[in-house]
Structure 1
């Protein structure tokens, strides 16, 4: 995720609202128990759900831009990780009208954003099961300074909706296990008024118009975190093709946006191919971009396969979001406290791009960022390895994260450093990872002990001396 220039100046303070774990009186079958209502992430205790592993989402989204109403049908295929008498789904605000488990009607109750589902008979550990949820209502975006002071999630536009959900807004539009540690594959079917285009993740399976409606079916075959899913709808000029390296590309741009010097299609193609050389093979079936007219969103997001931009952003932002396809999308955080593994790496990718283009070395970018913040700046007071929910997207996570990588590069040398990056993306491809795992791999690849380096740059709350 990258913030716009104006959004950098917005306040990022947010009072941490810690929700009490919901309690439901469920009569457990012998040997079975309810799944936990959350995965235990310290930043979002009730996001995600215990007792099962999400495998695939089949999402049907019918949207009316005039009223803002969404009618949805979600079929989740999952595997029980324990004997289950009940389990939870995350869903904010929208009204559930029916739930079926393995085709049979199931009882359900609600407490806040938690839906507790009680199937007619227990689910056994290892059993694959399906959950079909019918629901509807008017999705509302989340707001507050957690994401640069901007609204985020399901955001109504002049002609449709812009959907960008990091970190906790996927459950504003579909029921899910809404945490990046529970990835799944997706089919996303979008139904909107005729003349509008529905754009989502992966490859377009089919699209057609009938009876005054426009239909699009997208399929993401690679595991994806919930916050990276999108169902953006609007009027778009679409350009399709392949990058010079042969990767399919799909770029959708709102025709209402002014044209300028930024060729989103060309930069996307070039950067995808270049990062494939530096970070390892491109991990997905398609690359691209969604460029919408959404001025209320002061950020861009690394939507899997098609980064979403709320305006025509500059080249630096585009290469940042595309690098996230490796760092954040394919290799996702195991808990949100490790967010620097996404944002520090993507910021460092901007420095590498400038170096590649010959405009500034990564070393000079590091020194400039370091010198720009005096020792008494609040920038140095954030513990990047665990920045806390209210500052998880603060500039220190981005910039100091990137500084850490440059210091690492200068310590271990280019040969080891540029071996480390593709080794990391290969080792954790389509999975989740932690800071501790990155440190261990860096030590293994370099043959050096690096604990002091990572402690100094990620865990201290004072300005480190230049190495």
Structure 2
């Protein structure tokens, strides 16, 4: 099979005749005599003298020293004077159009940029390569000075890879120009620091090349968009939890897998991202610069990176490198979140179960974030390291949701558990929601609450007077032919004021004579009359009937199903009663304008009606 040197006549993908070398990982020996190991750099650099037909151009490492014309041919001499690994030596020959640009570094130095593309791509390449000066300047500011005399790219096709980071002269697939692959270009450019300047000492450490460059895509995304890098990580490198990454660690992969995307690229990028999360930016980037300075134009291995990381953060990181670099797989988190609904919604309980693809426990520095109407208002750092852990979080604003690792700083599979409503069984003037027992919480639940609405968008009102300890609930006295929608929650076993978010929503219509309010069904224990006035501004009055003496509760709920005001909570005699609501909540504060649900619980029945408060 052909290796190392590739030549294609014009035809198919090759719009023009093209020849080039691809030496990674150990194919330089196929086109030149050399000791082809990454740790044995050519200390004095290399030079090329390539003779090509007139009208062709040669692009290679280093700077162009001279060209010599003889007959119908031209000899191009390129000289790279910096140490270089054999697999990074390369040249390209084709009838290229050549154009140049300049990047300015943090120190205000100029770096020449040289591009070799086919004439058909000359105009489009200018738009695609336009961001390279910004990329180079950004990496220069984070990682230290750009290390070579120039940076260039030569486009070829056909090509087995997307790009190859030859020192100072990257080979890219022509499709990156036609497809405008900015992050592929950023990836290869970052290799000039991570792979070319600091080269992996052995192929066992290949993730120091590919994981670093892949993470630099996220670093550039952060610069380009202003968004946190975790967005790019989650969207781009999810394959770190698939394929060979499940069975092989990123350190010391089989030689056939050293360029495996799931392992060395995707998971390698996650390792750098998580190390940044553990250290923080004020330590992480100075550590990278010190690591770069110490191994510039030389090679480094995984133990070197760990040593520098520990030195800069001042703590042992064996736990981190052992679980992420030396071990295959990833953790899976199962989250059960209970929201407090009484007396307020300012707290939540999160219970995390942890398993992994290998059975080993992970130490996970996580953040729990409270999501409120104002967005994420509070973040609480926690350390998850056990098969099961529980935390309580609180906020000054009502908690609408609780997020685990909202900024994606940790590689994990995360499943947020909710109860599942299986079906709603229709009966004569009644409906019976049926669900599976909620087994996701190993600590157990106290029972369940059932909610009903006439619309999938709510408001949903609780229909059970007491917590249901079964996996079904008969909702009686309903109007036939009217669609009723149900959702249910699981109630926390440790605190019955806390329940999960709603299950899925399922609807059904009761049987019976359409429009009949349910008189043939089981007797209704109490009735709730329409309030007056409705809508109202200052106050409204509710009338209700209790057929027998007993406990009665009359309460108002907002559209989120949260109790706002309890008007009656005690024992009443049989008969008609009335109560006035002044539009305030249980704390005496003015309730917000909107639709509220009034619910009466008495004698086993739970009639409801909607109330509108205007301001």
Q: Same fold (TM over 0.5)?
A: yes
> Aligned pair 1:168/2:9, yes or no?
no
> Aligned pair 1:263/2:130, yes or no?
no
Under a length normalisation based on structure 2, what TM-score does the superposition of the two structures give? 0.49
Residue 459 of structure 1 aligns to a residue in which SS? coil
Residue 216 of structure 1 aligns to a residue in which SS? strand
Change (3 A) 1:387 1:286: same
> Who is 2:216 aligned against?
349
Q: CA deviation at 1:412?
A: 1.1
How many angstroms apart in 1 are the aligned matches of 2:35 and 2:239?
41
What does 1:293-308 correspond to in 2, within 5 Å?
Answer: 294-308=157-171
Q: CA deviation at 1:215?
A: 1.2
What does 1:374-453 correspond to in 2, within 5 Å?
Answer: 377-395=243-261, 396-453=263-320
The superposition leaves residues 209-232 of structure 1 with CA deviations (integer Å, 9 ceiling, x where unpaired) of 221111111100100011111121
> Aligned pair 1:178/2:36, yes or no?
yes
Residue 307 of structure 1 aligns to a residue in which SS? strand
What does 1:21-420 correspond to in 2, within 5 Å?
Answer: 141-142=2-3, 153-158=5-10, 159-184=17-42, 185-245=45-105, 246-257=110-121, 260=124, 263-292=127-156, 294-313=157-176, 314-358=181-225, 360-368=227-235, 377-395=243-261, 396-420=263-287
Q: CA deviation at 1:310?
A: 2.2
How many angstroms apart in 2 are the aligned matches of 1:304 and 1:209?
26
How many angstroms apart in 2 are the aligned matches of 1:264 and 1:351?
18
How many angstroms apart in 2 are the aligned matches of 1:242 and 1:316?
20
Residue 147 of structure 2 aligns to a residue in which SS? coil
Of the two structures, which has the highest relative contact order with CA contacts closer than 8 Å and spacing of 6 or more? 1
How many angstroms apart in 1 are the aligned matches of 2:153 and 2:194?
17
Under a length normalisation based on structure 1, what TM-score does the superposition of the two structures give? 0.64
Change (3 A) 1:373 1:203: closer
How many angstroms apart in 1 are the aligned matches of 2:330 and 2:224?
30
Aligned 8 A contact 1:280 1:422 in 2: yes
Q: CA deviation at 1:464?
A: 2.9
How many angstroms apart in 2 are the aligned matches of 1:310 and 1:287?
17
> Who is 1:35 aligned against?
none
Q: Which has the larger radius of gyration?
A: 2
Consecutive unaligned residues in structure 1, runs of 5 or more:
1-139, 143-151
Change (3 A) 1:296 1:407: closer
Change (3 A) 1:196 1:427: same
How many angstroms apart in 2 are the aligned matches of 1:202 and 1:426?
21
How many angstroms apart in 1 are the aligned matches of 2:18 and 2:243?
41
> Who is 2:449 aligned against?
none
Aligned 8 A contact 1:457 1:464 in 2: no
Aligned 8 A contact 1:283 1:325 in 2: yes
Aligned 8 A contact 1:262 1:312 in 2: no
Q: CA deviation at 1:400?
A: 0.6
Consecutive unaligned residues in structure 2, runs of 5 or more:
11-16, 333-363, 366-615
Residue 37 of structure 2 aligns to a residue in which SS? coil
* Count of aligned pairs between the two proteins: 317
Q: CA deviation at 1:423?
A: 1.1
How many angstroms apart in 2 are the aligned matches of 1:377 and 1:200?
36
How many angstroms apart in 2 are the aligned matches of 1:398 and 1:377?
12
How many angstroms apart in 1 are the aligned matches of 2:66 and 2:122?
29
Q: CA deviation at 1:260?
A: 3.9
Q: CA deviation at 1:382?
A: 1.9
Q: CA deviation at 1:394?
A: 0.7
Aligned 8 A contact 1:179 1:225 in 2: yes
How many angstroms apart in 2 are the aligned matches of 1:156 and 1:169?
18
Higher helix share: 1
Change (3 A) 1:276 1:409: same
Q: CA deviation at 1:299?
A: 2.7
Change (3 A) 1:299 1:369: closer
Aligned 8 A contact 1:178 1:226 in 2: yes
Residue 409 of structure 1 aligns to a residue in which SS? helix
Aligned 8 A contact 2:51 2:73 in 1: yes
Q: CA deviation at 1:248?
A: 1.4
Aligned 8 A contact 1:341 1:435 in 2: yes
How many angstroms apart in 2 are the aligned matches of 1:157 and 1:297?
16
What's the RMSD between the two structures over aligned residues? 2.1
